[in-house]
Amino acid sequence: MRASAVRIEAAEAEVLKQKISGRLINAYSSEDHVLLLNLGETSLGRTPVEHFENVRMQGYRHHHYWRRLQEVLIATRFSG
């Protein structure tokens, strides 16, 4: 799920992790004000999530991810 602000429970993430051979990566930023609009909601991209490799993208706002995609890929050590 790329660029998804979806809410995922720990149990769901655990099941998902067992079904894939790769990594579950959550590149998140607490400075993404668009995702912060849903007050009280925890979602991917906004906060660390259990069973994911959580990578904090300091200083990133909502529009930065696509513009700075190469930086995100490097920070998450993504290779495909």
Q: Say if CB 13 and CB 50 are below 8 A apart.
A: yes
Q: Say if CB 7 and CB 43 are below 8 A apart.
A: yes
Spatial distance between the Cα atoms of 32 and 30, rounded to a whole number of angstroms: 6
The enclosing H or E element of 53 equals: strand 53-56
pLDDT at 2: 55
pLDDT at 55: 93
pTM, two decimals, is 0.76
- pLDDT by residue for the chain (80 residues), tens only, comes to 455 667 888 889 899 999 999 898 988 888 777 776 666 666 788 888 888 999 998 888 877 778 888 888 889 998 76
Q: Which of 66, 78, 69, 79 is nearest to 25 (CA)?
A: 78
Spatial distance between the Cα atoms of 58 and 39, rounded to a whole number of angstroms: 20
